[in-house]
Structure formats: structure tokens, C-alpha cells
């Protein structure tokens, strides 16, 4: 894992079940850049806030994924509310 990239995402969704269907359908796009889901959860106090952690082959792959306009389109179609909070880092 050292040398790989990490991506942490949190965002609010209109409806978790509807969002999850869209998220699952977008897996091929995550696979293309080598993102591996490490954890998927919901905020304990706000269940419509989704928390996701990914591992990426490197930081550049994570940044390319985050910058892809198709990601924004998929998020909007799945019911994401507002701007996601996304952090990209290096695994140590």
C-alpha cells in the first residue's frame, strides 16, 4: 500500500438507496483508473452523508479520477447534493 494513493470522499445524497444503485453502476469507471474501495459507510448522525475511502495505484491516478467530468455527471445523476469533500493523499 505504501506509495499508493488514497482518496477520501464524503458527500450528502438525496436518497441513499438510489445513490447506491448509481454508485454501483459507476464501478467500471473506478476500475479503469485502478481505484479499490477500502470502506463505504454512512455518517452516524446524518445517514444521508456517505463516507468512502479508496486506494489508488498512485496519487496521479486518484487526481485523474477526481478531475474526470464523468465523475461529476455520475454523482449528480445518483443524487449527490452539493459539492463532495474529497481528499487525496499518499499512503505511508
**In this prediction, what percent of the chain has a pLDDT beyond 90?**
71
Asked if 14 and 82 touch (Cβ cutoff 8 Å), the reply is no
The structural domain count of the chain equals 1
In angstroms, the CA 70 to CA 3 distance is 26
Q: Indicate if the pLDDT at residue 51 is higher than 90.
A: yes
**Average pLDDT taken over every residue of the chain:** 92
Q: Residue range 31-46: average pLDDT?
A: 96
Domain span at 19: 5-90
Q: What is the pLDDT of residues 64-81, one digit of tens each?
A: 888 988 888 889 999 999
Q: Indicate if the pLDDT at residue 3 is higher than 80.
A: no
CATH number at residue 26: 3.30.70.100
pTM: 0.89
Amino acid at each position: 500500500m505504501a506509495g499508493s494513493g488514497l482518496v477520501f470522499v464524503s458527500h450528502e445524497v438525496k436518497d441513499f438507496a438510489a445513490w447506491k444503485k448509481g454508485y454501483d453502476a459507476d464501478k467500471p469507471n473506478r476500475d479503469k483508473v485502478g481505484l479499490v474501495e477500502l470502506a463505504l459507510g454512512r455518517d452516524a448522525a446524518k445517514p444521508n452523508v456517505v463516507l468512502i475511502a479508496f486506494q489508488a495505484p498512485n496519487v496521479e491516478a486518484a487526481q485523474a479520477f477526481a478531475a474526470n467530468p464523468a465523475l461529476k455527471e455520475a454523482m449528480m445523476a445518483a443524487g449527490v447534493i452539493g459539492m463532495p469533500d474529497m481528499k487525496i493523499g499518499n499512503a505511508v
